[in-house]
Structure 1
């Protein structure tokens, strides 16, 4: 069987429609309330490292409705509509909504694990310095995180090193190190991409031979696009480029959770692919 046609296919089923509306409304709030400086929505609702002073448990869900710009929003919502509509028609709204949030939460947990690993050394060194501030500790911190290249930071350190016994100097350099640490830990992860990658994984698993059109011209089977995209995400995640601000591990986490869920739900019908 090469084609799947649900009996009552909807181009915009209810859950997809409401997710689109909510995401657009939140983006409008980001663009108005958030940009006015009244409320820092990314600080409140974006996902942060668990050691960040900005971290709150609700961010595991709320970050799914935040986006970094129009094209970030558009690409996620387009993919959600393109791949999710057929899944919702097949599963029904309740199961699809459950699937969507499980993928998004799974992506958030994987991203938090990655952030813990990524900043493990920074957190440990900062904790040591806070408990036992020493000239050697501050110099090591500056050298490891390149703070010597900042004239203001260097001046604070030099003042401290010239008189380590001065409580004011020690407080100043500790304050600078604290601000740097918390700024690294408080970089938010936002977007529905993790949940959308779960939707994509389910679509590719259930409809591996469905032809998709790259640039609306080149026909490629869904399974090859899915495998290529996942390979790209894994490669990018391990490269860990400092200029790359994409949460590749959230994408990978959402895709893996989506694949495992649909594999489990479809365990009694593994011979039926479309």
Structure 2
């Protein structure tokens, strides 16, 4: 059974707090630029600065970037916690975040002919949470820009957008988003299969 989190024990809330504090550090004069340089992810420094595979997740380009990501994480993250548990949320979030950076590094040039530069933001990790929740609750009703739709349709819409925009010059790491999405789909499917197996075993055990 999933471990039920509250606003005080929810890992999603803790991540939101850490990202908010991190943005504050980014804005401190004389320190912010150094802070970003130390913790941002640069594909060219993957093997010499491995800690950035995690730390880049907590950095954001500004208030609106942070706000949008954290709103999505709050709703999808807490929903995933209630359906899969806090530990699974953390596993999906950080696995998707790490593999988003790795996918961004190794898939951008050979597949899309893009030269990957430094990257910050929790979007790839959040895409993993989004996709995993979709595997568990595909018909959950959500609002995308005030338009109601099922979660599975929202995921397809965002995936299609990232795929079509992958070669654009909008400074968004679309390959990282797509990498996180596929990680989330895989991990969500594994959780779903495990939950269904546990339900069947409990049902059979009653006879």
Q: Deviations over 1:106-145 (max 9, x none)?
A: 1111011135548999xxxxxxxxxxxxxxxxxxxxxxxx
Partners of 1:226 and 1:88 in 2: CA distance: 19
Rg bigger for which structure?
1
- Whether 1:83 aligns to 2:76 is yes
Distance of 1:81 and 1:267 partners within structure 2: 25
- Measure how far apart 1:50 and its partner are: 2.3
What aligned pairs does 1:93-242 form with structure 2 within 5 A after superposition?
Answer: 93-115=86-108, 117=110, 187-216=117-146, 218-237=147-166, 240-241=167-168
Counterpart Cα distance in 2 of 1:38 and 1:97: 27
Cα distance in 2 between the residues matched to 1:228 and 1:257: 17
Output the TM-score relative to the length of structure 1: 0.64
Task: Give me the whole-angstrom Cα distance separating, in 2, the residues matched to 1:224 and 1:67.
Answer: 27
For structure 2, the 5+ residue unaligned runs are 200-207
State the 1:220 CA deviation: 1.1
| Residue from 22, 27, 42 that aligns with 1:31 | 27
Q: What is aligned with 1:46?
A: 40
- Asked if 1:261 is matched to 2:190, the reply is no
How big is the shift at 1:259? 0.6
Conserved? CA contact 1:9–1:86, under 8 Å: no
Per the alignment, residue 145 of structure 1 pairs with: none
Residues 12-60 of structure 1: per-residue CA shift (max 9 Å, x gap): 652112111111111100011xx425752222111112268x9511111
Instruction: Kindly state the Cα deviation for residue 98 of structure 1 after the two structures are TM-superposed.
Output: 1.5
- Residue 14 of structure 2: aligned partner: 18
RMSD across aligned positions (CA): 2.9
Gap runs ≥5 in structure 1: 1-5, 122-183
Taking a change above 3 Å as real, the CA distance of residues 235 and 209 of structure 1, as seen in their structure-2 partners, is same
Structure 1 residue aligned with 2:171, among 245, 248, 256?
245
Q: Is the 8 A contact 1:83 1:200 kept in 2?
A: yes
